[in-house]
């Protein structure tokens, strides 16, 4: 493995509503040695991981498949739903002013990376103020910032796509 960046795969299991609409998600990982990678972008469908996390992979038919999270990097990930494209653009612009970065496509849902220096509670307060559960909503995908309630942290851990490796 001479290249630093590799495509790594998270295997996903769609729920009874067929969400997520895919059975796997790929992200870029930075090779650290011994089958360990640091995630270099924000997952879109995967729960329990964020950009900057270290993961352990296994080889499976030439693909690198994530088996465990071995270290959290401090970023948090949330997903936002906004059914109006103009409102979606406004939300993304506001989140980026708060220090977050957004991964968006043509769909109504987008992923938000909240890096370590960004104040999570400001992002959370903004989204809470504009969410109505119908036209605008958001969910926690992976929370790692300080000051978040233990209930929310535990709920995120319970939804994790891959387990956290304890030593």
Mean pLDDT of 61-84: 96
| Mode of pairing for the β-strands spanning 136-142 and 76-82 | antiparallel
Q: Where are the domains of the chain?
A: 5-71, 76-159
**pTM (predicted TM-score):** 0.92
pLDDT tier for residue 166 given thresholds of 50, 70 and 90: low
Helix axes 85-97, 120-130, angle to 10 degrees: 160
Question: Each residue of 32-63: pLDDT tens digit?
Answer: 999 999 999 999 999 999 999 999 999 999 99
CATH architecture of 76-159: 2-Layer Sandwich (3.30)
Mean pLDDT of 146-153: 94
Give me the chain's average pLDDT, please. 94
Phi (first) and psi of residue 109, to 5 degrees: -95, 145
Would you call 88 helix, strand, or coil by DSSP? helix
Which residue, 140, 121, 27, 143, is CA-closest to 76?
143
């Amino acid at each position: 493995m001479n290249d630093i960046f590799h495509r790594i795969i998270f295997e996903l299991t769609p729920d009874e509503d067929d969400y997520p609409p895919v059975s796997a998600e790929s992200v870029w990982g930075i090779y650290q040695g011994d089958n360990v990678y640091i995630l270099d972008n924000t997952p879109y469908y995967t729960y329990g991981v964020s950009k900057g996390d270290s993961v352990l992979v296994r080889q499976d038919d030439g693909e690198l498949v994530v088996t465990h999270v071995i270290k959290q990097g401090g970023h948090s990930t949330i997903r936002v739903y906004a059914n109006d494209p103009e409102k979606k653009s406004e939300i993304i612009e506001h989140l980026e002013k708060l220090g977050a970065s957004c991964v968006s496509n043509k769909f109504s849902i987008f992923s938000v990376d909240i890096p370590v220096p960004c104040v999570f509670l400001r992002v959370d307060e903004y989204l809470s103020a504009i969410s109505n559960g119908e036209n605008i909503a958001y969910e926690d995908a992976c929370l790692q910032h300080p000051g978040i309630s233990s209930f929310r942290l535990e709920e995120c851990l319970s939804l994790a796509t891959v387990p956290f490796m304890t030593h």
